[in-house]
């Protein structure tokens, strides 16, 4: 039915009170001398008759529809999808992922938390973009790709995050990968490294990167000999995260590699309440899917190129928030 001028004016006034002034339906009903059910009908009619238009807007680089779809597809706590840059094919770790992840950490971390940062280009980009963090302790979760690059890598990322938050920093001055298990074990008992490891069980929020098993996309892959790469590839490796290897179903393979590495153990990662993975690009999409099935991460920051590939595949058999180990 056509609304008369008095009805139109009343509907516009009620809509202004509700949508712009934030008044409740009960308050509006009292003001206009009608029931709250009448107010609800008028507001509904205002939407139907196009008197009110609700527009949901997020920053242009965020894709809200894909983000929500990806969250539901894998049962994540948070999924944030950003527009892929034009050079996404050449750059599997676009810097804009780090910038968005920095904002997400500023949202997730609360005062008194212990923030863990693992080695990865994405986490380094994220740390560089941090401009707000509540007071928290920051601990390094892995050794560095190359001890000689510590000032430009994960050590500096930990220092940067601690500087922004005003909290303590616990870096690890050691390579991620050692020649053998005995050397790695000896390093873990060194005072500074042991002190950082003591914080692993206290970490409440962690940021990690993901690599696919190919040159230039996984730092661990690049650190190994050709013979070692071939051996791990024969196990069906699809992804690497913090020196842990996964097949396409998210099961851990090549566990002997971890014995040679300075890194947080997978079981400890699984107990951290919030683990945010940062990775994008179509070349990494299968690796991201594998890690999401591992039960080690709760949230993801990625881009549209990876999201479209992930959404085209089957959903995860178990929600990521179950933290279920596919090996069990």
Whether 55 is in a domain gets the answer: no
Whether residues 250 and 289 fall in one domain: yes
pTM, two decimals, is 0.80
Residues 156 and 205 in one domain: yes
pLDDT value of position 223: 85
Please state the rounded mean pLDDT for residues 47-58. Answer: 76
- What does the chain come to in residues? 328
Name the nearest CA neighbour of 94 among 105, 79, 83: 83
Same domain? 37 vs 134: no
Q: HSE-up of 223 (CA within 13 Å, CB side)?
A: 19
Range of the domain at 94: 62-312
| 207/280 same-domain check | yes
Mean pLDDT computed over every residue of the chain: 88
What's the total number of domains in the chain?
A: 2
The verdict on residue 327 lying in a domain is: no
Verify that 31 and 66 share a domain, yes or no.
no
pLDDT digits (tens, 9 = 90+) for 251-300: 999 999 989 999 999 999 999 999 999 999 888 999 999 999 999 999 99
The torsion angles phi and psi of 160, rounded to 5 degrees, stand at -65, -45
- Does the residue 195 lie in any domain? yes
pLDDT digits (tens, 9 = 90+) for 159-206: 999 999 999 999 999 889 999 999 999 999 999 899 999 999 999 999
Q: For residue 238, tell me if it sits in a domain.
A: yes
* Range with the poorest average pLDDT among 82-96, 196-210, 228-242: 82-96
What's the rounded mean pLDDT across residues 228-245? 92
- Please check whether residues 34 and 68 belong to one and the same domain: no
- Same domain for 44 and 67? no
Query: For residue 318, is it within any domain?
Result: no
> With bands split at pLDDT 50, 70 and 90, how would you rate the model's confidence at 96?
confident
Domain annotation covers residue 282: yes
Helix axis angle, 25-32 relative to 36-48, nearest 10°? 100
Pair 18, 163 in one domain: no
DSSP for 41-72, please give it.
HHHHHHHHTTSS-------TTB-HHHHHHHHH
Q: Are residues 76 and 132 part of one domain? A: yes
């Amino acid at each position: 039915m056509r609304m008369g001028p008095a009805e139109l004016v009343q509907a516009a006034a009620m809509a202004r009170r509700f949508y712009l002034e934030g008044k409740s339906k009960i308050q509006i009903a009292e003001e206009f001398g009608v029931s709250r059910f009448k107010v609800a009908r008028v507001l509904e009619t205002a939407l139907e008759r196009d008197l009110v238009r609700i527009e949901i807007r997020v920053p242009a680089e965020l894709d809200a529809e894909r983000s929500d779809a990806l969250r539901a597809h894998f049962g994540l706590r948070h999924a944030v999808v950003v527009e892929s840059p034009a050079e996404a094919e050449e750059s599997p770790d676009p810097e804009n992922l780090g910038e968005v992840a920095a904002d997400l950490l500023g949202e997730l971390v609360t005062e008194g938390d212990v923030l863990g940062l693992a080695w990865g280009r994405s986490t380094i980009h994220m740390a560089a973009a941090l401009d707000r963090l509540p007071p928290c302790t920051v601990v390094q979760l892995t050794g560095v790709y190359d001890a000689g690059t510590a000032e430009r890598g994960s050590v500096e990322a930990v220092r940067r995050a601690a500087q922004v938050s005003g909290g303590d920093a616990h870096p690890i001055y050691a390579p991620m990968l050692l020649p053998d298990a005995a050397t790695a074990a000896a390093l873990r008992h060194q005072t500074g490294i042991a002190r950082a490891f003591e914080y692993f069980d206290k970490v409440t929020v962690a940021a990690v990167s993901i690599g696919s098993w190919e040159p230039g996309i996984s730092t661990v892959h690049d650190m190994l000999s050709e013979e070692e790469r071939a051996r791990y590839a024969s196990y069906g490796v699809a992804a690497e995260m913090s020196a842990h290897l996964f097949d396409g179903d998210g099961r851990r393979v090549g566990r002997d590699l971890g014995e040679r590495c300075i890194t947080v153990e997978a079981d400890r990662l699984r107990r951290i309440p919030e683990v945010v993975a940062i990775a994008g690009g179509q070349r990494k999409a299968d690796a991201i899917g594998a890690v999401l099935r591992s039960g080690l991460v709760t949230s993801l920051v990625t881009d549209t190129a990876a999201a479209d590939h992930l959404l085209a595949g089957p959903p995860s058999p178990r929600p990521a928030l179950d933290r279920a180990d596919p090996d069990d």
